[in-house]
Amino acid sequence: MTDFKKKVAIVTGGAQGIGGGIARQMASVGIKVLVADIDIDLADNTASEINSKGGDAFSVKTDVTSYSEVKEMINVAQNRWGRVDYFINNAYSAGSATIGGVTEVSESQWDMDMRALVTSVYAGSKYVIPVMTDGGGGSIVNISSVHGILVSKKALTYETGKAAIIAMTRQMAVDYGKFGIRVNSISPGHIVTERLGKRWENNPSGLKFFEDQYPVRRTGLPEDIGNAAVFLCSDEASFITGHNLVVDGGLSIQLQEDLAVQQGHYIKENPDTEMPYKK
C-alpha cells in the first residue's frame, strides 16, 4: 500500500463540498493538505477539523481565476512542506454557472465562466507541473462532472467547461507522463454536499426520487469523490493516466428510455413526490 506520510496535496475549493470531502479523505491517509479556497473562514474551519483529528493541514485564501493567487498558493505549500505531490483542481460549483443556451449567454458571462471552469485548471496545472517535475513527479486530479460527458438543457457554459477539463486532462497526461506526472479526471454524479443537503432537507421526497434513479439506490457523498481522488494519487494507480473516472453510482450507464419508464413507474407509485427541479 502507498505510504502517504511524506506526501503533500493542494486541494482547490477545499473548504467544503466535494473539495472538503477530498481534503478530509486525503488527510485521513496521512497526506499533508493545503486547503485552498476563496472563503478563508470555511477553509480555516476545514483545516482546523483535520488538525484536530491528528492530520496536518493549512489553509490559504485563493481565487483560482487569479494567476498571481494561484502562484502564491503553490508557494505556500512549498514553503511549508517543501514539495507538492498531488494537485486537485476542484474549485468551481455548478450553482455558479450561467443558465442559458448559446444565444442567451452573454459574451461577458461566457468569458467569466470559461475563466472559472477552464482557465483555473490551466493555471493551477501550469504552475504546479514544474514543481512536481523538480520533485520527481506527482499526480494531478481534475474534477470534471457527468455533465462533461452528458448534457443538460440550458447549461452551455458548465457542460462546455467540464468537457474541456476532460480533454485537457488527456492532453496533459500525454505531454507530462515522461516527467513522472500522471493526470486524471473524476466525473462525479449527484453529490449531496452541505449546500445541496440543505435543499434536500426541505424536499425529502424529491431526494428519494433522485436516489431511485441510481442503480446503487443512493446519491453520492463528498467522501466518495475523496476516496476516488486518493486512489488516483496512490501507487496502486501508477499505470493509470489520461483517464476520466466516472463516480456516479451507475447513473450514466443507463439507457434513457429505460430510465424514463422507471421514472414513470416511480411517480405513479408515489404520486405525492415533490419533483426535485422545476424548469
pLDDT of 14 above 70: yes
Who's near 28: CB < 8 A, 6+ residues apart? Answer: 53, 55
Give the tens place of pLDDT for each residue, 196-230: 777 788 888 888 888 888 899 999 999 999 999 99
Catalytic sites, residue numbers: 158
Q: How far apart are CA 177 and CA 108, in angstroms?
A: 36
Query: DSSP secondary-structure letter at 271?
Result: T
Q: Which residue has the cell 514553503?
A: 79
Lowest-confidence pick of 3-12, 58-67, 185-194, 198-207: 198-207
Sheet holding 8-12, edge to edge: 57-61, 32-37, 8-12, 86-89, 138-143, 181-188, 244-247
pLDDT of residue 134: 97
Determine what percent of the chain is predicted with pLDDT higher than 90: 78
Query: How confident is the model over 260-276, as pLDDT tens digits?
Result: 777 777 777 888 777 66
User: What is the predicted pLDDT for the residue at 73?
Assistant: 98
In three-state secondary structure terms, 182 is strand
Which grid cell sits at 275? 419533483
* pLDDT value at residue 94: 55
Assess whether pLDDT exceeds 90 at residue 258: no
pLDDT band at 256 (very low <50, low <70, confident <90, very high): confident
CB 210 within 8 A of CB 178: no
- Residues 30-78 have pLDDT tens digits of 999 999 999 999 999 999 999 999 999 999 999 999 999 999 999 999 9
Q: Give tens-digit pLDDT for 72-108.
A: 999 999 999 999 999 999 987 656 789 999 999 999 9
Structural contact between residues 35 and 28, judged by C-beta atoms closer than 8 angstroms: no
Least confident of 112-126, 231-245, 261-275: 261-275
Which residues, listed in sequence order, are joined to residue 60 by a DSSP beta bridge? 36
Query: What digits encode the pLDDT tens for the residues 171-180?
Result: 999 999 999 9
Q: What pLDDT, on the 0 to 100 scale, is given for residue 278?
A: 45
